[in-house]
Structure 1
Amino acid sequence: QVAGFNLGVLMRALVGCGTPRERAEAARNVFLFVIRTDSATGIVIIVDIGSAPAMLAVIAAPELD
C-alpha cells in the first residue's frame, strides 16, 4: 500500500494526475493528424489535458538510394 501511495504521489508530481483514471478524465480533446507527401509521412498527436496541451510528432522519411 505504501508503494502504491508513493507511486500516486510521484505521478501527481510528474503528470498532474495520481491515477490512470484521473489521467483519462483529464484528457479533454485529442487530435490526430496524418500528413503524407511524396518524400515523407508525418503523424502528429495533440492532447489537451486541461493545464497545458501536449504534442507528439513523428516523421518518417524513406531512405533515398
Structure 2
Amino acid sequence: MIDPEKVTLQVAPANLDVLYNADHALVMAGAPMSVIPLIVVFLFGARHFLRDLAAGAMKV
C-alpha cells in the first residue's frame, strides 16, 4: 500500500477524493497548482536543452 504522506503532487488530488471524500470542484481547482511547477521547470530547461542540442549538432 502506498503511504498517503509520500505521494507525488500529481497523485495527491486523486487521493483527496478517495481518502477524504473531497468536493470535485475543489480538487479540480487545485489541479493547475500541481502543473505550474512542471511548466516553470520546462520553460527554463527547454532553453538550455535546445541550446545544447544545437551546439552538439554543429560540425567542428
Report the TM-score, using the length of structure 2 for normalisation.
0.32
More helix by share: 2
TM-score by length of 1: 0.31
Greater relative contact order (CA < 8 Å, ≥ 6 in sequence): 2
> Which of the pair is proportionally richer in strand?
1
